[in-house]
């Protein structure tokens, strides 16, 4: 090694100043070709129209107009928004106590309990959604339970194929997406801060509203964006649990346009409001640091 | 407030000491809400009757016997496994490269790259699904096949690897690379002999999660599948015809497999942190 | 030193210096870490870069090792231009601040890593690894993981891992920082012995002045990206050139006074209290104006105790004793001088029952003009 000669000098690799581009070329190329370009092309579809089975590539705003004027699209859109909002708020309400409990109160088996919360996130979404179909069905467990115990005499059909059924199912399947970010941020809140607020005379509610809630906002927003976005785009739960007229959500309508109805431009136009709302939420969440700040 | 307590007690006096009962009760109810549906599926997979009614009239293993003799199910399992392995492998390559570049280089636009990689999982899956469907069949004129599914899955799995590997890389002191270079190793040798062995458990942990996600995925897959069906698609198709206890049995197996995979991933993460 | 030996074109004479830095600068964005350093290190020398954190010492070391490239200037090792050479092509090895042992490899594999990279056959490798571990007095640990060793042992492994390659230059970046005081003292001596034994040039970075004084052949005191003074430990300690060097290394009295004029090899000046003192100029005698004279507390005696005949032409200052602090080996006396200044005196505690002067009394202190330095500021 000591014998590094002058000739080596010329052969010195110039790669030291080379940036990360050689490494990033493949992943960024992949994301560009298989995500960003398809996404852009999809949006372009919204401004085309369908002529029998072929796509007419002349610019038109008809589809966009249809989304906001032609029945049932505006109603479905509003219903989806309300559903997503209701599910998000409910999950916040359910997630807060358990996240707080896990982060600040549990002293033993914390790791196990955490894993129990996280596991549903990785267990099949389809299985968890159809479990509710088993429970809520006309001849399902809930109804037969109510009848067997004599609480009701007739099966209640309102559970399945209803907005209520979808609402319960959505709240269940997306709950871990709310708990995880919320727990993470609460866990990082120093206990001393909460004690300080107590010492300054803040009672429980005041401490919660003035200290805990503002500080947990990033986690809350991160979870909310996930839950809202997942509800907005879903079509599996509606097909399993919803399904009666007046329960359609936008995801199902979009799926139909790309399936049986075969009207891609309209489907793409219907996706625009979903995208706009989710990206809007992302920008808001990002402002509050919900998406994590980069170190450099 | 308490003057007698000039020197504050360390922890026990803190908020952890007080445990409001309602909080514990609420947490237990939440756990029930999370797990009751899963328990129901598992229980009714042993139900002797075809109808999912309360109470369970008798127990049987027939549905499992039926399940394991169901060739369509096995085909779907094999297909989903293949998709999961290939998609996770592609995601490992893309994700490890990205995480390494993000960790080891200073450059502008890092948040943008993180955002772009995370997009497929942040935006609703249906968007990815229809965008790729339109791209493959409409723009490129390709037929849907297992490869279109794999591309879709690899795209949204990459972020899992990036997150896992980036977290591990950020724990590794940069001086390890420098020490290796100092001892005469070229950058490639340093990666092969030092960096890679140290991030390998994190890669494996991420790969298992990616496989799990791919194996369970349905929203994107629905739009990208050709003639062959993944396991979730097969189950979904049958569910539309009504629930059978055999599906409960299949779901139970899926829950078990997910559990094993998540535990394995967790184990690798722990291993990587204690190294 | 050896600058004169270097001939144009980077070619060198028969015996080039071990390391040569020529006008080396390094900036990170707007921040200048190293602002033009010229330095020549001789073969086998133990040179310490000493300074507070952020002074550029570590960056200088990293430029020798090849972990950073200079923004401008040249680095030569063994007379060869380093240019853009990456670390793995430089004949230097480094002991890192936190050892940077590879956690997934055994101690033996850690030490063998460099040998493996340079293609040393397996048999030789094993022998040399054993020798290196013996050299740092750490036998029979080849099969252990670094995490199973104590901090001091890890330190030795890092040392063995670097030395096993017989580098002509060993770079050490605050290697003893994480050790406790006692272990640090022992390692200081060991490092000095190793330097002699293996004959490699050692470049050592530290912010610990005592460490620097103990081990170095020469010390380069750095601040704000520059070398303020370069010299043997005694030189740095006895003849600090600037207020920064005098203050950073050991404890020093600073006495402001107005120049009266040269007096042989001394400069004479008048203090705020109207007393005339003399001191040796660090660089060249100042013609006039206000100067600062530096004198170490242990060089100052109480006038009554000053050695007889010798002290006839010593500097004398009179003031009020304000503080007496017993410090074990010595007692620290603080004497307030007329005006704003004060002078600290370290009085050796030679025997029990010595009577200490009491605070408040008038006291005259004395010191040899040869031990006082006029700082160049």
Q: pLDDT of B235-251, one tens digit each?
A: 999 887 777 788 899 99
Looking at the DSSP bridge assignments, the partners of residue A136 are none
Contacting subunits of C (3+ beta carbon pairs below 8 A): A, B
CA B192 to chain A, closest CA, distance in angstroms equals 15
Confidence at residue A106, expressed as pLDDT on a 0 to 100 scale: 83
Joined tokens for residue C240: 């600090």
Spatial distance between the Cα atoms of A91 and A182, rounded to a whole number of angstroms: 11
CB contact under 8 A, C93 and B183: yes
Task: Please tell me the predicted confidence (pLDDT) of residue B14.
Answer: 40
Provide the number of CB pairs (under 8 Å) joining chain B to chain C: 61
Residue C133 pLDDT greater than 80, yes or no: yes
Contacts of A254 in chain B (CB under 8 A): 126, 130
Q: What number is the average pLDDT over the span C59-83?
A: 95
Complex ipTM value: 0.87
Going by C-alpha positions, the residue among B75, B87, B115, B31 that lies closest to residue B212 is B87
Give me the phi and psi of A147, to 5 degrees please.
Answer: -75, -45
- Whether residues B178 and C96 touch (CB distance < 8 A) is answered with yes
The yes-or-no verdict on residue C289 having pLDDT over 50 is yes
Task: Give contacts of A18 with chain C, Cβ < 8 Å.
Answer: none
Q: What pLDDT sits at residue B8?
A: 27
How far does CA C308 lie from the centroid of its chain? 35
Residue A86 touches chain B, beta carbons under 8 Å: no
| C residues 63-92 lying closer than 8 A (beta carbon) to B | 65-67, 86-88, 92
Q: What are phi and psi of C100, to 5 degrees?
A: 50, 45
Residue B59 banded pLDDT, cuts 50, 70, 90: confident
Per the CB < 8 Å rule, is C161 touching B197? Answer: no
Instruction: Report pLDDT for C377.
Output: 67
Q: Indicate yes or no: CB of A42 within 8 angstroms of CB of B134.
A: yes
Distance CA A85, CA B37 (A): 23
**C148 close contact with B: CB closer than 8 A:** no
The CATH number of residue A212's host domain is 1.10.3720.10
- pLDDT for A43 beyond 90: yes
In angstroms, the separation between the Cα of residue A12 and the nearest Cα of chain C is 5
Share of residues in chain A with pLDDT > 70 (%): 89
- Which residues does C11 contact at the CB level (< 8 Å), separation at least 6? C79
* Residue A255 reports pLDDT greater than 90: yes
Q: Is B147 exposed, middle or buried (0-12, 13-18, 19+ CB in 10 A)?
A: middle
Residues of A in contact with B138 (CB under 8 A): 45, 55, 264
Q: SS3 for C258?
A: strand
**HEC-encoded secondary structure of A146-201:** HHHCCCCCCCCCCCCCCHHHHHHHHHHHHHHHHHHHHHHHHHHCCHHHHHHHHHCC
CA distance B194 to chain C (A): 7
Q: Which residue segments constitute the domains of chain B, with CATH numbers given?
A: 64-274 (1.10.3720.10)
Q: What is the mean pLDDT of residues B147-169?
A: 95
Number of domains in chain A: 1
pLDDT band at B1 (very low <50, low <70, confident <90, very high): very low
Which chain A residues have a beta carbon less than 8 Å from that of C167? 1-2
Are residues C86 and A2, on separate chains, in Cβ contact within 8 Å?
no
Residue A178: domain span: 51-110+174-287
Instruction: Say yes or no: C223 contacts chain B, CB-CB below 8 A.
Output: no
> Which domains, from first to last, does chain C contain?
2-243 (3.40.50.300), 251-374 (2.40.50.100)
Structure-token match 């009701």, residue found: A152
pLDDT attached to residue A2: 34
Query: Which pLDDT does position B48 carry in this prediction?
Result: 84
- Predicted confidence band of residue C357 (pLDDT cuts 50, 70, 90): confident
A236 assigned to some structural domain: yes
pLDDT surpassing 80 at residue A4: no
Within a domain: residue A271?
yes
- Asked if residue A16 belongs to a domain, the reply is no
Q: How confident is the model at residue A197 (pLDDT cuts 50, 70, 90)?
A: low
- Say yes or no to pLDDT of C351 above 80: no
Rounded Cα–Cα distance for residues B56 and B59 (Å): 8
pLDDT given at position A18: 63
Percent of chain B topping pLDDT 70: 92
Closest CA to C158 of B268, B235, B173: B173
Given B182, B198, B275, which is nearest C94 (Cβ)? B182
| Contact flag B182-C93 (C-beta cutoff 8 Å) | yes
C103 to B189: CB separation less than 8 angstroms, yes or no: no
Residue B97 in contact with partner chain A when CB distance is under 8 A: yes
Which residues neighbour C263 within 8 Å (Cβ) at sequence distance 6 or greater? C278
A221 falls within a domain:
yes
Contacts of C92 in chain B (CB under 8 A): 182
Residue A28 within a domain: no
Q: pLDDT digits over C206-264, tens only?
A: 999 999 999 999 999 999 999 999 999 999 999 999 999 999 998 999 999 999 988 88
CA B205 to chain C, closest CA, distance in angstroms equals 18
Mean pLDDT on A119-146: 85
How far is C278 from chain A, CA to nearest CA, in Å?
52
The C-alpha of A69 sits at a distance from chain B's nearest C-alpha, in angstroms, of 22
The answer to the question of residue A78 being in a domain is yes
Tell me the range of A49-63, A250-264, C281-295 where mean pLDDT is highest: A250-264
* Residue C7, pLDDT above cutoff 70: no
Of C88, C100, C113, Cβ closest to residue B175 = C100
Q: Is the pLDDT of residue A7 over 60?
A: no
Integer Rg of chain B from CA:
24
Q: Do A230 and B124 touch (CB under 8 A)?
A: yes
Contact yes or no for A1 and C91 at CB 8 A: yes
pLDDT at residue B104 greater than cutoff 70: yes
Chain B CB contacts of C94 under 8 Å are 178-179, 182
Asked if the C-beta of C113 comes within 8 angstroms of chain B's C-beta atoms, the answer is yes
A191 HSE (CA, 13 A, CB side) = 14
More confident residue, A8 or C152: C152
Best B219, B234, B247, B261 member to test A by mutation, with max A CBs in 10 Å, is B219
Out of C88, C97, C165, the one facing B181 most closely (by C-beta) is C88
Question: Which of C87, C101, C102 is facing B181, going by the closest CB pair?
Answer: C87
Q: Is the confidence at residue C1, as pLDDT, over 50?
A: no
C-chain residues within 8 Å CB-CB of B182? 65, 67, 87-88, 92-94, 162
Query: Domain for residue A132, yes or no?
Result: no
Contact yes or no for C84 and A12 at CB 8 A: yes
- Could you report the per-residue pLDDT of A147-169, keeping only the tens digit for each? 878 778 777 777 777 888 999 99
User: Which of C81, C83, C91 is opposite residue A2, by nearest beta carbon?
Assistant: C91
Is pLDDT at B201 greater than 60 in this prediction? yes
C47 vs C286: CA distance, rounded Å: 31
Q: Show Cβ contacts of residue B244 under 8 Å, excluding neighbours closer than 6 positions.
A: B50, B63, B238
Q: Is residue A252 part of a domain?
A: yes
Q: How confident is the model at residue C279 (pLDDT cuts 50, 70, 90)?
A: very high
Average pLDDT over residues A179-193: 87
Mean pLDDT (chain C, rounded) = 90
User: Which residue among A1, A28, A41 sits closest to B139, beta carbon to beta carbon?
Assistant: A41
Pick from C78, C86, C165: CB nearest A16: C86
Quick one: how far is CA B100 from the chain centroid? 21
pLDDT band at A8 (very low <50, low <70, confident <90, very high): very low
Residue A1's pLDDT is: 33
What mean pLDDT is predicted for residues B110-122?
90
Q: Which two tokens stand for residue C235?
A: 């030189």
Q: What is the mean pLDDT of chain A?
A: 84
Give the minimum alpha-carbon distance from B95 to chain C in angstroms, rounded to a whole number: 23
Q: Give the chain A residue nearest B102 (alpha carbons).
A: A20
Residue B201 touches partner A, C-beta closer than 8 Å? no
């Amino acid at each position: 090694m000591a014998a590094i000669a002058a000739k080596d000098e010329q052969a010195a690799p110039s790669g030291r100043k080379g940036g990360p581009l050689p490494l990033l070329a493949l992943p960024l190329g992949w994301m560009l070709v298989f995500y960003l370009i398809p996404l852009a092309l999809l949006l372009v579809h919204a401004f085309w129209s369908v002529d029998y089975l072929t796509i007419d590539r002349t610019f038109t705003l008809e589809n966009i107009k249809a989304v906001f004027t032609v029945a049932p699209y505006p109603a479905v859109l509003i219903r989806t928004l309300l559903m997503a909002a209701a599910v998000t708020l409910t999950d916040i309400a359910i997630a807060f106590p358990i996240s707080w409990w896990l982060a600040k109160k549990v002293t033993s088996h914390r790791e196990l309990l955490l894993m129990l919360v996280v596991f549903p996130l990785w267990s099949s979404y389809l299985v968890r959604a159809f479990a509710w179909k088993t429970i809520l069905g006309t001849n399902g467990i809930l109804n037969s339970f109510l009848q067997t115990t004599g609480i009701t005499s007739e099966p209640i059909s309102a559970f399945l194929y209803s907005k209520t059924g979808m609402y319960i199912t959505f709240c269940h399947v997306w709950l871990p997406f709310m708990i995880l970010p919320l727990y993470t941020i609460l866990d990082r809140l120093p206990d001393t801060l909460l004690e300080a607020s107590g010492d300054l005379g803040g009672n429980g509610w005041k401490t919660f509203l003035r200290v805990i809630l503002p500080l947990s906002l990033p986690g809350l927003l991160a979870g909310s964006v996930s839950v809202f976005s997942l509800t907005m785009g879903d079509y599996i739960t509606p097909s399993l649990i919803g399904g009666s007229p007046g329960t359609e959500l936008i995801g199902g309508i979009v799926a139909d346009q790309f399936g049986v109805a075969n009207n891609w431009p309209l489907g793409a136009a219907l996706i625009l409001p979903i995208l706009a709302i989710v990206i809007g939420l992302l920008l808001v969440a990002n402002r509050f640091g919900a998406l994590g700040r980069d170190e450099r | 407030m308490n003057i007698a307590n000039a020197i504050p007690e360390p922890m026990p006096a803190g908020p952890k000491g007080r445990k409001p009962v309602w909080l514990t009760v609420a947490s237990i109810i939440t756990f029930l809400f999370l797990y009751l549906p899963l328990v129901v599926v598992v229980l009714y997979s042993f139900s002797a009757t075809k109808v999912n009614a309360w109470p369970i009239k008798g127990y049987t293993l027939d549905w499992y016997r039926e399940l394991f003799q169901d060739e369509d199910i096995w085909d779907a399992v094999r297909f989903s496994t293949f998709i999961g392995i290939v998609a996770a492998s592609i995601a490992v390559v893309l994700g490890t490269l990205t995480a390494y570049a993000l960790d080891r280089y200073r450059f502008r636009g890092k948040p943008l790259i993180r955002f772009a990689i995370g997009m497929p999982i942040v935006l609703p899956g249906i968007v990815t699904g229809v965008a790729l469907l339109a791209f493959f069949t409409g723009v490129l004129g390709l037929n849907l096949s297992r490869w279109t599914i794999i591309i879709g899955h690899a795209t949204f799995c990459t972020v899992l690897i990036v997150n896992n590997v980036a977290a591990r890389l950020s724990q590794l002191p940069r001086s390890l690379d420098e020490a290796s270079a100092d001892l005469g190793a070229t950058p490639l040798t340093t990666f092969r002999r030092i960096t890679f062995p140290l991030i390998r458990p994190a890669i494996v942990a991420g790969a298992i999660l990616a496989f799990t996600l791919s194996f369970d995925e349905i929203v994107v897959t629905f739009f990208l599948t050709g003639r062959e069906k993944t396991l979730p698609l097969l189950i979904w198709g049958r569910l539309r015809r009504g629930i059978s206890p055999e599906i409960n049995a299949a779901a139970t197996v899926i829950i078990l497999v997910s559990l094993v995979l998540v535990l394995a991933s967790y184990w690798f993460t722990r291993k990587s942190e204690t190294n | 030193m050896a600058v004169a030996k270097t001939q144009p074109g980077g070619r060198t004479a028969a015996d080039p210096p071990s390391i040569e830095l020529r006008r080396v600068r390094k900036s990170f964005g707007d921040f200048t870490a190293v602002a033009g350093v010229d330095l020549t290190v001789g073969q086998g020398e133990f040179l310490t870069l000493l300074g507070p954190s952020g002074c550029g010492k570590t960056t200088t070391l990293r430029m020798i090792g090849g972990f950073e490239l200079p923004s401008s200037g040249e680095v030569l090792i063994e007379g060869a231009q380093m240019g853009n050479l990456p670390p793995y092509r430089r004949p230097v090895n480094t002991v890192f601040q936190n050892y940077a042992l590879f956690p997934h490899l055994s101690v033996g594999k850690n030490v063998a890593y460099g040998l493996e990279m340079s293609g040393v056959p397996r048999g030789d490798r094993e022998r040399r690894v054993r020798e290196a571990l013996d050299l740092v007095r750490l036998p029979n640990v080849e099969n252990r993981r670094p995490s199973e060793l104590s901090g001091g042992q890890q330190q030795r492994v890092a040392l063995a891992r670097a030395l096993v390659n017989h580098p002509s230059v060993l770079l050490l970046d605050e290697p003893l920082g994480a050790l406790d005081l006692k272990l640090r003292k022992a390692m200081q001596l060991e490092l000095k012995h190793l330097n002699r034994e293996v004959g490699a040039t050692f470049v050592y970075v530290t912010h610990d002045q005592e460490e620097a004084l103990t081990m170095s052949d020469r010390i380069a005191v750095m601040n704000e990206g520059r070398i303020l003074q370069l010299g043997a430990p005694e030189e740095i300690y006895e003849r600090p050139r600037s207020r920064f060097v005098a203050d950073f290394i050991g404890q020093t009295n600073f006495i402001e006074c107005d120049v009266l004029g040269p007096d042989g090899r001394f400069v004479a000046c008048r203090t705020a209290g109207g007393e005339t003192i003399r001191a040796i100029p660090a660089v060249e005698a100042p013609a006039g104006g206000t100067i600062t004279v530096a004198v170490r507390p242990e060089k100052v005696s109480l006038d009554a105790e000053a050695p007889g005949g010798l002290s006839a032409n010593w500097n004398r200052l009179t003031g009020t004793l304000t503080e007496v602090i017993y410090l074990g080996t010595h007692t620290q006396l603080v004497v307030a001088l007329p005006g704003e200044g004060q002078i600290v005196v370290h009085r050796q505690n030679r025997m029990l029952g010595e009577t200490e002067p009491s605070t408040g009394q008038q006291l005259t202190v004395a010191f040899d003009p040869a031990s006082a330095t006029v700082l160049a500021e």
